[in-house]
Amino acid sequence: MLEQYIGATVMFIMAIGIACGMVFMTSVLGPKRHFAEKMEPFECGEKQIVSPHQRFSVKFYLVAVLFVLFDIEAVFFFPWAILFKKLGMFGFVEMLFFIIILGVGLCYVWIKGGLDWE
């Protein structure tokens, strides 16, 4: 059972090796000439006026919450889809209700303006 994962694990370890090797090489090979002006974060030539670590638009949080909702719904679909042909009509009708409930939720968010970006 777990034998399936041997290849993927070996590949994962090698990928870590490649990625870390690249980071290591670039930190060793390149020149290092530091001075204060150069180390400033890029701001089109200006001094940085505001720190980036502040609050940002709430819409991004909303998208994240919606993502969690809909992606969990998508996870419910996976086993159903695999067994779809075995479940036949029963499975289809059950999932029809599920999709309708999901659709009502989507419509609610839509009407409430949760999907709008002005």
Partner 1 sequence: MFVDFLITLVKILFIFGVTVGFFAPVLTWVERKQSAIMQDRIGANRADILGFTAFGLFHIIADALKMFTKEDFIPRGANKALHTLSPIVALIPALITFAVIPFGGVYTLFGKEVNLVISDLDVGLLFIFAVASIATYGYVIAGWSSNNNWSLLGSIRVAAQMISYEVTMGLTIIGILMVYGTMRLTEIGAIQEDFWRWGIFLQPVGFFLFFAASIAENKRIPFDAPEAESELVAGYFTEYSGLKFGMFFMAEFVEMVTIGAIVTLLFFGGWNLPFVTMDGILSMFDFLGETGANIIALLIHVGVFFAKVCFFIFFQMIVRWTLPRFRYDQIMKLGWKILLPLSLANILITGAVILALE
Amino acid identity at 80? W
Out of 40, 101, 104, 108, point to the residue binding partner 1 (CB under 8 A): 40
Rounded Cα distance, 36 and 78, in Å? 54
CB within 8 A of 106, min separation 6: which ones?
70
Chain residues that interact with partner 1, rule: CB under 8 A: 4-8, 10-12, 14-16, 18-20, 22-23, 25-27, 29-33, 36, 38-44, 48, 50-53, 56, 59-60, 63-64, 66-67, 70-71, 74-75, 77-78, 81-85, 88-89, 92, 95-96, 99, 102-103, 106, 110, 115, 117-118
